[in-house]
Amino acid sequence: MHDRPLAESALSASVPSRTGDGRSARGARERALSRQRILSSVRDIVAVNDGVDLRIEDIARVAGCSRATVHNHFPHAIPGIFEALAVETVEAAIRRYRIDPDEHSGLDKPRHFVGLIADEFYKAGELAVVMVRASVDQVENSSWPWGIGYQATIDCYDEAAGDVDLPGATADLAETTLIHFYGSLYLWALGKLDGDRFLRSAKSSVDLALNALQVSR
């Protein structure tokens, strides 16, 4: 992925007091840990109870916090929690891609990245199925699924453009790729594709996007 420039030079930034900075850092760590406990509790509940209807009170009980704390982290409640889990799933693929970004070249870069996303959702198993089904209820109020992985996919196509001629703009290719990818993911979540067919279909998304934009030229 392309490195992003810092928004502001560290030398020109104001220096907060040591006391305030320490308290702020502790508060941020505690909030991050609380958020992770909530997400982990959802993973644990889904792992033990396939198909269970999740309730905020159950999540709070397993996470060891109050209902208010869950709503404080996730104002949209269950849909917001599943969106956060979906983001973490794609971020895991991004981290795997960054381990050796030069391992692949040209169009094998987006192919590899999309394949990693498919692998991460597949590894999530029943949790991924529940995530995807929940996303239907929040499509009007959330970037999920389209915003998740979109920019990273554009970045992969940008990198590929240095090696090969592309049949369209990288943003158009990324969008078309994710249309095919998430179509495969939804069909898997609905039980219309088994795991092997999902992986094959999802990993073909880049080539389907390339063919679609080539034809529309």
Of the ranges 75-79, 154-158, 181-185, which one carries the lowest mean pLDDT score?
Answer: 75-79
For residue 42, the tally of other CB atoms under 10 A from its CB is 23
Q: Which of 155, 158, 209, 199 is nearest to 179 (CA)?
A: 209
Would you state the structure tokens that stand for residue 127, as one six-digit string? 């949790």
Calpha distance 83→135 (Å, rounded): 7
* C-beta of residue 177 within 8 angstroms of C-beta of residue 206: yes
pLDDT value for 137: 64
pLDDT value for 77: 83
* pLDDT tens column, 110-119: 999 999 999 9
pLDDT value for 94: 93
pLDDT value for 53: 75
Where are the strands (E) in 33-94, listed by range? none
pLDDT at 163 over 60: yes
| Segment 76-85 mean pLDDT | 86
* C-beta of residue 203 within 8 angstroms of C-beta of residue 111: yes
Average pLDDT, the chain: 84
* C-beta of residue 176 within 8 angstroms of C-beta of residue 154: no
Q: According to the CATH classification, is domain 18-75 in 1.20.120?
A: no
| Segment 73-81 mean pLDDT | 86
Calpha distance 5→193 (Å, rounded): 42
Q: Is the alpha carbon torsion for 58, 61, 67, 72 positive or negative?
A: negative
pLDDT at 18 over 80: no
pLDDT value for 66: 94
**Sole residue written with tokens 């702020």:** 24
| Domain spans of the chain, in order of start | 18-75, 78-215
